[in-house]
Amino acid sequence: MDLKNIGCFLLLVCLSQIYIIKGSAIPLNASIADARSNEICMKELGCFSITDDFKSILHRPINVLPHDRVTINARCLLYTRKNAKEAHHLIAGDKDSILESDLDPENPVIFIVHGFMDSELYGPWMVSMKDEFLMSGEYNIIIVDWSGGNKPPYYQATANTRVVGAEIALMIQTLEKLKGIKREDCHIIGHSLGSHVAGYAGTRLKTLGRITGCDPAEPYFQNMPPSVRLDPTDADFVDVIHSDATDIMFIGFGMSHKVGHIDFFPNNGRNQPGCKTDKFKSFITEGLNEGARRFAACNHQRSLDFMQHTINYKKIVPVGYECTDWKDFLDGKCAECGSDTKRCAIMGIRADEYKQFRNNSIQHALYLKTSGKSPFWLYHYQIAIKLFKPRTSHKDVKGTLDVTLFGKKADELVHVQSTAADFYHGARYQYLVTTEKDLGDIKSVSIKWISASKNPIDLIKKPLLHVEYVTVIPMNEIEKTPRDMTNRVFCGKPDKGIPQKTIASFLRDDKCLKFL
């Protein structure tokens, strides 16, 4: 066991032994006695036991049986457009509570499930997300409040998730029987521990339609078998948004592993823009409770912000692209959806538009960048610069590179190569560019480069950069590969060459297509 794993183990043990909230402490010995029992059975839900797949000295050091149903008190609170503000309490064992409700089986059914130390009252994000859905269309929104079972110690809350998952599965089966809904049309959105709750529900139902995991909890779940955590087999389609995938040793709460059919990693799934300032600003803008939440777990919370802002905000589409890693994405190497569009998808509510991901054993990691403020989405462009290799004598150069995009609506100057780099004539260089501006249709491009040469001879000879053409690819849309490059190629005068600190213009010309 290396030092990092030893440290992780010790931290988990400390968190599990005493979790102090508002001055209260729950000792380890209070639950160890419960662990001596082999099984606990509950009417309608069946039995729960601690099988070998739940045991791991390093990743799940303390396992206990879940609390009883009464203690956990999972409540299903229905909202529709007819009762958008006042919840209707659905009870699986109370037939009248189902039949007398406004639930319409013709409309989608969405369950919203919170995580550790959260509740319908304490977590305003659930109400906000519910409101966004009801503004968007006719939905049956069911907020699942299991705040009776999500308190410290953390290991006990993880055990209780199994019961909550079973309660949701029972509710869906009851709604099938009494209201005629189809489990294939049900969608569970879970945050943190709620993501794994959704997984347990899906395991029981076998044919659940969709699960969206918003930053699934890492402690006690990462590196564990699929039977213990959320995984692609839990629903027909499982999409995941990672926003706090830093190792728990560095105060990250979310998983870094792929656990869905498609896993989005905005900003590499960690260190979300705006979180450093939000930690303090949110106390003023959002009150004490929400301020405390964001101060402690802004990155973890950001996955919910992302999900919510995909429901009604339509101006910019947050497309994620499959890539080997974050660095390659930032280097502009991953801007193709592929001939079957399997290499990209829209993060958030529209993720399931791409049916080819369903029932696919291959898991996909998709990347995109965001800003640090709502609505968070950025316009993405891939800029490729093809250098020309003259037949006459020439010299490769070293320097920095600025590109300006001139759009129909706005312009944007970008330092695509802010640190000095070698430019070899005949080579092709590509970059990722993001902006909050709506540039509109790109009409032209300009390039300026600054030499970083320290050779005094270059002061006399004045090296030139020969650019053959520039391509600008908008990335906020799903397009099959190869793309139609019409109106996306910009020609220059490669024979002439660009002196340093000189701005050279490149105009849109379809004649350049022959060079591609």
Q: How much is the pLDDT for 512? A: 75
Rounded to whole angstroms, the Cα distance separating 389 from 398 reads 15
Q: How much is the pLDDT for 32? A: 36
Question: If you ran DSSP here, which 8-state letter would residue 52 be given?
Answer: G
Strand partners, 385: 429, 470
Looking only at the bridges linking them, the beta strands covering 428-435 and 379-387 are antiparallel
Average pLDDT over residues 165-193: 97
Instruction: Judge whether residue 247 has pLDDT over 70.
Output: no
Mention every residue, 6+ apart, whose C-beta is less than 8 A from residue 214.
189, 190, 191, 192, 194, 195, 240, 241, 243, 303, 304, 306, 307
Q: How much is the pLDDT for 452? A: 86
Q: Write phi, then psi, for 167 (nearest 5 degrees).
A: -65, -40
Which carries the bigger pLDDT value, residue 227 or residue 11? 227
Looking only at the bridges linking them, the beta strands covering 109-113 and 140-145 are parallel
The rounded Cα 219 to chain-centroid distance in angstroms is 18
pLDDT bucket at 354, cuts 50 / 70 / 90 = confident
Instruction: Judge whether residue 278 has pLDDT over 90.
Output: no
The predicted-structure confidence for 84-111, as pLDDT tens digits, reads as follows 999 999 999 999 999 999 999 999 999 9
CATH topology of domain 379-515: Lipoxygenase-1 (2.60.60)
Active-site residue, from 147, 192, 243, 282: 192
Q: Write phi, then psi, for 289 (nearest 5 degrees).
A: -65, -50
Average pLDDT over residues 353-378: 86
Of 16, 37, 10, 214, which Cα lies nearest the Cα of 111? Answer: 214
Active site residue 300: yes
The rounded Cα 54 to chain-centroid distance in angstroms is 26
Give the residue extent of every domain in the chain: 74-368, 379-515
Q: How much is the pLDDT for 249? A: 54
Active-site residue, from 67, 114, 300, 364: 300
Average pLDDT over residues 46-53: 96
Average pLDDT over residues 29-50: 73
Say what the pTM is. 0.89
Please answer whether residues 477 and 317 qualify as being in contact, where contact means their C-beta atoms are separated by less than 8 angstroms. Answer: yes
Rounded to whole angstroms, the Cα distance separating 427 from 290 reads 51
Rounded to whole angstroms, the Cα distance separating 152 from 20 reads 8
The dihedral formed by the CA atoms of 89, 95, 100 and 102, expressed in degrees to the nearest 10: 60
Q: Quick count: other Cβ atoms within 10 Å of Cβ 428? A: 12
Instruction: Judge whether residue 292 has pLDDT over 50.
Output: no
pLDDT bucket at 31, cuts 50 / 70 / 90 = very low
Instruction: Judge whether residue 290 has pLDDT over 60.
Output: no
Of 298, 321, 319, 301, which Cα lies nearest the Cα of 310? Answer: 319
Q: How much is the pLDDT for 37? A: 67
Active-site residue, from 118, 145, 215, 231: 215
Q: Where does 74-368 sit in CATH, by number?
A: 3.40.50.1820
Active site residue 16: no
Mean of per-residue pLDDT scores for the chain: 87
Rounded to whole angstroms, the Cα distance separating 181 from 142 reads 13
pLDDT bucket at 392, cuts 50 / 70 / 90 = confident
Number of H helices, E strands in the chain: 10, 23
Tokens of 490: 């910009």
Which carries the bigger pLDDT value, residue 396 or residue 378? 378
pLDDT bucket at 444, cuts 50 / 70 / 90 = very high
Average pLDDT over residues 30-55: 79
